[in-house]
Amino acid sequence: MKTAIVGASGYSGEELVRLLSRHPQVELALVSSRSLVGKPLVSVMPQFRGLVPADLVFSDSDPATLAARDDIDVFFLALPHGVAAEFAVPLVEAGRKVIDLSADFRLGSTALYEEFYGQAHPAPALLEQAAYVIPEITPAGWEKAPLIASPGCYPTSIITPLTPLLRAGIVSSQGIVVNSMSGVSGAGKKLAEAYLYCERNESVKAYGLPKHRHLSEIEEQLGAAAGEPVIIQFNPHLAPMKRGIATTITVPAAKPNLAALYAAWETAFAGRPFIGLLPSGTCPDTLHVTGTNRVDMSAVYDERTKNFIITSAEDNVVKGASGQAVQIMNLWLGFKETDGLL
């Protein structure tokens, strides 16, 4: 089974190289990048010497040329939103399986995309055929879709713990407040003053208030879980670390019973290899999930405020992006869920 990474020079593309080069079932057959075209992968990313063929060279990113590669079964798109759709359309038309890491196919309507991403949806017909998949949450049936939208980094850390609790009626669907802190790699590999070492080291700040674009995806998914519209307060922060997301969710209890909350998680996540349920009072730590495909979570109940406080941690580039995309591929193609991820 051959795979390709489109946009392999970026942070999530490079992480896909790491995961796919060690994967027991697939071969990494193509990596593309406009800026690195013609260069051997190992000359730019020497950490992969011996793991990928020495003659694997970055190819140009031309959608039509890539779509003509009928020897490749699965294409991972690690491209900016808007651009990803330009590749997805010809690839799906050519019958390739596509896993898109961008936001282009995550939302249920073009209107929502336009509202949050500030541009008309680039491929409305394909949006209708796409499936949004968090493997631990999404009901079976998604496997029939020709294109899978891999979720956003913040949304994974929020939707994963909350969905089973909303479905079980343990937490209220109203009055949810979420604070998240992200490592700087979440912003992608861009040259911008805001992301320079001297600007970010030893400093934390909120940004994107009050309407970060991930709200679209989070509220849509939580609304489906709750069976009614959900509006949350989402406060993202940039933290001085390369990777990791730490999320704290404050949510009014519908059933103020911590044991029932943990029971709902245990039922929903039984047998799932990438969920870490920590005991109440032990808050997840980004350092403990760095490089893993896990999302760790725990909860406490506050008698004073009648809120549950749920905390989660993940690696934004792994469970929040490339690891989750490989997990999706594994399930889609009938491999072991953990292949290449442990």
Ligand X SMILES: NC(=O)C1=CN([C@@H]2O[C@H](COP(=O)(O)OP(=O)(O)OC[C@H]3O[C@@H](n4cnc5c(N)ncnc54)[C@H](OP(=O)(O)O)[C@@H]3O)[C@@H](O)[C@H]2O)C=CC1
Ligand Y SMILES: CC(=O)N[C@@H](CCC(=O)OP(=O)(O)O)C(=O)O
Using CB atoms, what's the residue nearest to ligand X?
Answer: 10
Size of the site for ligand Y (CB under 6 A): 13
Residue 215 phi, psi (nearest 5): -55, -35
Buried-state track 234-254, b at ≥16 Cβ within 10 A, e below 16: bbbbbbebebbbbbbbbbbbb
Query: Residue from 20, 148, 153, 222 that binds ligand Y (CB under 6 A)?
Result: 153
Residue in the structure block whose two tokens are 């050519």: 94
Contact in structure between 95 and 120 (CB atoms under 8 Å): no
Which range touches ligand Y (CB under 6 A), out of 16-24, 87-95, 182-190, 277-285?
182-190
CA-to-CA distance for 69 and 218, rounded, in angstroms?
35
Q: Residue 187, interface with ligand Y (CB under 6 A)?
A: yes
Q: Compute the least distance from the CB of residue 14 to ligand Y, in Å.
A: 15
Q: Residue 78, interface with ligand Y (CB under 6 A)?
A: no
Q: Compute the least distance from the CB of residue 229 to ligand X, in Å.
A: 25
Q: Compute the least distance from the CB of residue 33 to ligand Y, in Å.
A: 18
Left, alpha or beta for 268 (phi > 0: left; psi -120 to 50: alpha)?
alpha
Q: Residue 79, interface with ligand Y (CB under 6 A)?
A: no
Q: Residue 3, interface with ligand X (CB under 6 A)?
A: no
- The active-site residue out of 17, 127, 153, 241 is 153
Pairing of strands 232-238, 176-182: parallel
The nearer residue to ligand Y, 3 or 182, going by C-beta atoms, is 182
Q: Residue 316, interface with ligand X (CB under 6 A)?
A: yes
The nearer residue to ligand Y, 81 or 97, going by C-beta atoms, is 81
CA-to-CA distance for 242 and 120, rounded, in angstroms?
32
E strand spans, 158-306:
176-182, 205-206, 232-238, 245-252, 275-277, 295-302
Q: Enumerate residues 6+ apart whose C-beta is below 8 A from 143.
A: 331, 332
Bond prior to 124 in cis (omega within 30° of 0): no
Residue in the structure block whose two tokens are 């330009």: 86
Q: Compute the least distance from the CB of residue 139 to ligand X, in Å.
A: 22
Q: Residue 299, interface with ligand Y (CB under 6 A)?
A: no
Residue 206, beta-bridge partner list: 237
The site map against ligand Y for 211-230 (x = CB under 6 A) is --xx----------------
Which range touches ligand Y (CB under 6 A), out of 25-33, 69-77, 173-181, 206-214?
206-214
Q: Compute the least distance from the CB of residue 8 to ligand Y, in Å.
A: 17
Query: Residue from 238, 246, 299, 317 that binds ligand Y (CB under 6 A)?
Result: 238
Q: Tell me the two tokens of residue 219.
A: 């509220």
Buried-state track 146-169, b at ≥16 Cβ within 10 A, e below 16: bbbbbbbbbbbbbbbbbbbbbebe
Q: Residue 170, interface with ligand Y (CB under 6 A)?
A: no
Q: Residue 122, interface with ligand X (CB under 6 A)?
A: no
Which range touches ligand X (CB under 6 A), out of 9-17, 118-126, 139-147, 299-307?
9-17
**Catalytic annotation present for 283:** no
CA-to-CA distance for 227 and 101, rounded, in angstroms?
26
CA-to-CA distance for 231 and 233, rounded, in angstroms?
7
Query: Residue from 4, 101, 225, 251 that binds ligand X (CB under 6 A)?
Result: 101
Which range touches ligand Y (CB under 6 A), out of 25-33, 158-166, 208-216, 256-264?
208-216
Q: Where does this chain bind ligand X (CB under 6 A)?
A: 7-13, 33-36, 61, 78-81, 83, 101-102, 152-153, 185-186, 188-190, 316-317, 320-321
Q: Where does this chain bind ligand Y (CB under 6 A)?
A: 81, 102-103, 152-153, 182, 186-187, 208, 213-214, 236, 238
Residues identified as active-site: 153
